[in-house]
Amino acid sequence: MKKASYVDQLDELLTENIQSVQSRQKNTVVELTDSFKILIVLFGAGNLGRKLLAGLRSLGIQPVVFADNNSALWGKSVDGLVVFSPEEAARKYGTSAVFVIAIWNPAKEALFRSINQQLVNLKCSRIISFAPIFWKYPEIFLPHPAFDLPCQVYDQSDEVKFAMQLLSDSLSRHEFLAQIQIQTHLDYSSLPPLCQEEQYFSDDLFSLTSNEFFVDCGAFDGDTIRYFLKGQPGFTGKILALEPDPENYKRLNEYIKTLDKDIQQSILTMPVAVSAQREKVKFSATGTISAMISEEGEYEVDCIPLDDLLAGNAPTYIKMDIEGAELDALKGARQSISKHLPVLAICVYHLPEHLWKIPSYIHSLSPRYHLFLRRYLGDKWEIVCYAVPDFRLNTKLPHDE
């Protein structure tokens, strides 16, 4: 029997009716924990564990201890809850408590699975992820970065299926299906291997030219430009580098000063954010790659559409890694993209719905784009949507799965 295509598998996955999905959201944790009538051990005393502890306490549920692999925390109190070693927690509570894994880093591959196996090896009888608790009490725990309710996928199932059909190769469809399985069922079992090429530069899809006009949105400290120039020893084009975080912007300019004068003169840096319209926005500046637009931010920065910044110039390659502002930034670049058809490398992992909304929006700007997904880090992180116009495409596209 022929294996079902990824498109068929997605169609089958999304046949579950919304009432069933909502029931699963509410009842999965009840089935696993007997409505919290048993004791709870929180595995992980970091930010997520503390968030989970505070939320459970607000519901009148008091975990008994933290367990953590960090030996520096053992015997200490975190937010009024003592921290045990995993071994001690298992000895005392392994058969009487549910162990809730409160560690989730989508940038680390198989992290949940490795901790789950650790607790299985310690003879813990009940182990669950934090996610079903978030699903049952979304008003307390959500939103959470890159995490939402399964019903959000089913509510937008037509858009999800449309986006899958836009993808141009089997690897992209495989990745898309696997990410939807994670969002809807916490099923990590079918993820394809990580992409081994340099992020934002998928050589099997397109080749760089020596006269690119490269627009780097979220330039950080120049890390992407470093790799870009490394592959272009005879570079004669232009670079527009945009970075709103003050500390990152300082480091970006310090790096550029180390380059040859001719290259320096080809690079314009600006301390601005990009979006769909001109405005001033609050910005959380951390000096790291995770700085972002936020109402709680301590800085105010100018937000300018790319169409305004480019002012008639013709970009050939645009990269965006801007912490969830990618879709709005694409809308602010729609004229430049539709007219000039630059290669696009757009991050789609910051918000769950970007996985399907960004490919669909790019397709609406021009049907000449071929769309691909590539994942570079962890189970759910650093996923890039490449949009390559037909005249820049390297690869011969497959006709089947």
* Residues 295-328 pLDDT 10s: 566 778 899 999 999 988 999 999 999 989 999 9
pLDDT above 60 for 292? no
| Residue with the two structure tokens 């926005």 | 281
Which of 301, 378, 363, 381 has the alpha carbon at shortest distance from 167?
363
- In total, the chain counts a number of residues equal to 401
Q: What is the mean pLDDT of the chain?
A: 90
Whole-model pTM over 0.75: yes
Q: Which residues contact 251 (CB under 8 A, 6 or more apart)?
A: 221, 222
Q: How far apart, in whole angstroms, are the C-alpha atoms of residue 392 and residue 396?
A: 12
Range from 141-145, 303-307, 337-341 carrying the lowest mean pLDDT: 141-145
Contact 59, 141 (CB under 8 A): no
Q: How far apart, in whole angstroms, are the C-alpha atoms of residue 91 and residue 242?
A: 53
Give residue 112's pLDDT band: very low, low, confident or very high (50, 70, 90).
confident
Q: Which two tokens stand for residue 21?
A: 């999905």
Give residue 3's pLDDT band: very low, low, confident or very high (50, 70, 90).
low
> What is the predicted pLDDT for the residue at 109?
64
| Residue with the two structure tokens 């645009």 | 318
> What is the predicted pLDDT for the residue at 397?
62
Task: Map out the domains of the chain with their CATH numbers.
Answer: 16-147 (3.40.50.720), 194-392 (3.40.50.150)
Is the preceding omega at residue 143 within 30 degrees of 0, hence cis? yes
pLDDT above 50 for 51? yes
pLDDT above 50 for 265? yes
More confident residue, 401 or 224: 224
Give the residue-averaged pLDDT of 55-74.
96
> What is the predicted pLDDT for the residue at 1?
38
> What is the predicted pLDDT for the residue at 268?
97
The proportion of the chain whose per-residue pLDDT surpasses 90, expressed as a percent, equals 76
Give residue 229's pLDDT band: very low, low, confident or very high (50, 70, 90).
very high
Which of 154, 106, 109, 107 has the alpha carbon at shortest distance from 130?
106
